Amino acid sequence: MSKKYNVILIIADSLRKDHVGCYGNEWIHTPNLDKFSKESVMFTKAYPESLPTIPVRRAIYTGNRVFPFKKYELKKDIRSRRPGWEPLSNEDISISEVFRLSGFRTALIGDNYHLFEPGMNFNRGFLEWIFIRGQENDMFRSAHLVSDEELDKYMPSKLTGRAAERRRRFLRRYLSNVSFRKNEEDWFAPQTFREGVRWLRENRDAERFLLVLEPFDPHEPWDPPHEFVEMYDPDYEGKEVIMPKYGYVDYLTERELKHMRAHYAGEVTLLDKWFGYFLQKVYELNLHRNTIIAFISDHGHQLGEHNLTGKVSWGLYPELVDIPLLIRHPEEIGAGEKIDYYVYNHDLFTTLASMAGINFEHKVDGINIWKYVEKEKNNVERSYVTSALSEYVMYRDDEYWYISNREGKEAQLYAVKEDPNLERNIAEECPEICRKLYEKIVDDAGGSLPKLELPPREAFEWYDRMYFQMI
């Protein structure tokens, strides 16, 4: 491409592909994403090369695979215990640095607090970065600003013991963080997209720019304004479960589970509404004519399917790893087209740089998936994808979906054509197929899967007291 364009990259968190209208959902309202898809290229087989939140950002921001995870460390001031949850290193070259060195004005705006924790370095290379405070377990408010009675409204009736106590501590922090909200504009997605509009208006003089928006929605806790929940489950009178337990779903009644799904759906619609607001302003500023816009989610979320809620590592099923990916070209090249090749999230680095007319010298793992749109021959046409979450790995191609732990044990195997919902595990019937697919995962990992040594239990206990308790 000879023309040089601006780039806007929007990375949502925990948005399931099957909860977006243009990807086939018929009951959740996502009119703005649906409209955007008609102007964009829709990738139907997009996957994270690993997950969750931070491994995904490492891949997108650098263009390189994070899998296989090689170490497992607890880091002070960083609230996660997942392998692969590492900061950008001094050796990593981020998308912001590549664009900035190519003369682009760069900005990062988001409420995804994990990116901005001390030492994570995801703001490196951005000329302006805005951190919208208060999401989830962000250390934003230390005061106990909600009562025990208020917390009781959000506690599942069957959740007890340590799990219940942890949930109360978490929700006390979060609800204290958001206790100031009065109007819809005070919710997180509106704040992020409104800040994005503010930045576009103030930086209209930029010859070229890269704007990365990081709305954390629809990540839990799911507490959109009440009317968004009422769209999907009106007149409910039970517990308002806005925060799932990561594990089996037996801590919820059927009615609570249905209403929890309504909360998630409401947060999806809230995100869509303010994405639409942002797009409208892009049009009003006449930026759609010279700006590439890409929209992606990092991963999905389990909402009772396969008897799981959360992001449970052995549940690497479509509800967790199928992701939406839409790219709009300013000349609407490929508008409405569907691309059925397997693509990864880390392909965005190479793709957006190429589309924006940027050449970079260092080698990355990602490929230029826009070549599929231009019908050019790509050096890599994948016949399968692999991914990983904590101690578990997955593989899928057009025939099989495989999940196991890093040693190839606890295998699950599904024939995707006959069993698209992955309900019948045939691993015991097909051990040779399992072996071959596991070997492909190991090959993708560079020939071996390093054993992850867990930190000592005392370290976990100290970490829990330090970062997950309010005093």
CA dist., res. 68 & res. 71, Å (int): 9
Judged against a pLDDT cut of 50, whether residue 1 lies above it is answered with no
Buried residues in 295-312 as b, exposed as e (16+ CB within 10 A): bbbbbbbbbbbbebbbbb
Q: If 0-12 CB within 10 Å is exposed, 13-18 middle and 19+ buried, where does residue 268 land?
A: buried
The answer to whether the beta carbons of residues 313 and 390 sit under 8 Å apart is yes
Give the chain's mean pLDDT: 94
Average pLDDT on 239-263 reads: 96
Q: What is the pLDDT of residues 10-32, one digit of tens each?
A: 999 999 999 999 999 999 999 99
Packed helices 53-62 and 347-355: angle between N→C axes, nearest 10 degrees: 40
Average pLDDT on 319-324 reads: 98
Average pLDDT on 296-304 reads: 98
H or E, element range at 200 = helix 188-202
The answer to whether the beta carbons of residues 48 and 323 sit under 8 Å apart is yes
Band of the pLDDT at 471, cuts 50, 70, 90? low
| Structure letter (DSSP) for residue 51 | B
Judged against a pLDDT cut of 50, whether residue 366 lies above it is answered with yes
H or E, element range at 35 = helix 31-38
CA dist., res. 154 & res. 164, Å (int): 11
Cut 0.85: pTM above it: yes
pLDDT score, position 379: 66
Judged against a pLDDT cut of 60, whether residue 433 lies above it is answered with yes
Share above pLDDT 90 across residues of the chain, in percent, rounded to a whole number: 86
Average pLDDT on 149-173 reads: 91
Q: 450 preceded by cis ω (within 30°)?
A: no
Judged against a pLDDT cut of 80, whether residue 349 lies above it is answered with yes
pLDDT score, position 83: 84
CA angle 96, 98, 102 (to 5 degrees): 110
Average pLDDT on 206-218 reads: 98
Tokens of 313: 């590592």
Band of the pLDDT at 2, cuts 50, 70, 90? low
CA dist., res. 270 & res. 262, Å (int): 12
Judged against a pLDDT cut of 90, whether residue 278 lies above it is answered with yes
CA dist., res. 415 & res. 413, Å (int): 7
Judged against a pLDDT cut of 70, whether residue 470 lies above it is answered with no
Band of the pLDDT at 376, cuts 50, 70, 90? confident
| Number of neighbours of residue 121 by Cβ within 10 angstroms | 18
H or E, element range at 458 = helix 457-467
pLDDT score, position 65: 97
CA dist., res. 308 & res. 287, Å (int): 43
| Structure letter (DSSP) for residue 208 | S
Which residues, including other chains, have CB under 8 Å from residue 456's CB and lie 6 or more apart?
none
Average pLDDT on 384-403 reads: 97
Share above pLDDT 70 across residues of the chain, in percent, rounded to a whole number: 96
Residue 29: what are its φ and ψ, rounded to 5°? -85, 110
Q: What region does 66 belong to: left with phi over 0, alpha with psi -120 to 50, or beta?
A: alpha
Q: What is the pLDDT of residues 53-85, one digit of tens each?
A: 999 999 999 999 999 987 667 777 676 678 889
Tokens of 56: 């995904």
Judged against a pLDDT cut of 50, whether residue 250 lies above it is answered with yes
Strands (E), 283-442: 291-297, 302-303, 308-310, 323-328, 338-344, 384-389, 392-397, 400-405, 412-415
pLDDT score, position 79: 64
CA 164 to chain centre: 26
Judged against a pLDDT cut of 70, whether residue 222 lies above it is answered with yes
Judged against a pLDDT cut of 50, whether residue 306 lies above it is answered with yes
